[in-house]
Amino acid sequence: MGSFRTFLIILWLALAAYTAVVISRHGLGLLPIFFGDVAKLGWPGQFNLDFLCFLILSALWTAWRNGFSAIALLLAFIAFFGGAGFLLPYLVFLTVRERGNMPRVLVGARTRRDEPYSGR
């Protein structure tokens, strides 16, 4: 589990550094570029639409695993707009909170807290 957490942290650091450079060079005008590429029906737009599907899935999973509570909906909103910038540290947090129990990390509110975990 330590290797997985380290991997998530490395990915987040790389993303944060890359994002900082892009913002410093191009500003925060992402949405017009993002949806403009989708509207052009080219490969950049196809990639953006594919990525948008992952953002939607990430938000739905976040809301679902937290039982669609008020906090779940807030986290889903952040997941949708934050992408991996949210999901990577959230997964680190969950793996620590759930002590490496991946079924609990993935399923969240739907698992019984008292069931034993036989994994590492």
Residues of the domain holding 47:
2-110
The predicted structure's pLDDT at residue 112: 64
30 part of a folded domain = yes
- 28 φ/ψ angles, rounded to the nearest 5 degrees: -100, 20
The predicted structure's pLDDT at residue 114: 53
Q: Which residues contact 77 (CB under 8 A, 6 or more apart)?
A: 59
The predicted structure's pLDDT at residue 113: 58
Question: pLDDT (tens digit, 9 = 90+) per residue, 7-48?
Answer: 999 999 999 999 999 999 999 998 899 999 999 999 999 999
Question: pLDDT (tens digit, 9 = 90+) per residue, 41-69?
Answer: 999 999 999 999 999 999 999 999 999 99
Tally of structural domains, the chain: 1
117 part of a folded domain = no
Distance separating alpha carbons of residues 113 and 23, to the nearest angstrom: 42
Q: Measuring CA to CA, which residue among 119, 87, 101, 115 is closest to residue 8?
A: 87
| Structure token digits, residue 58 | 């990430």
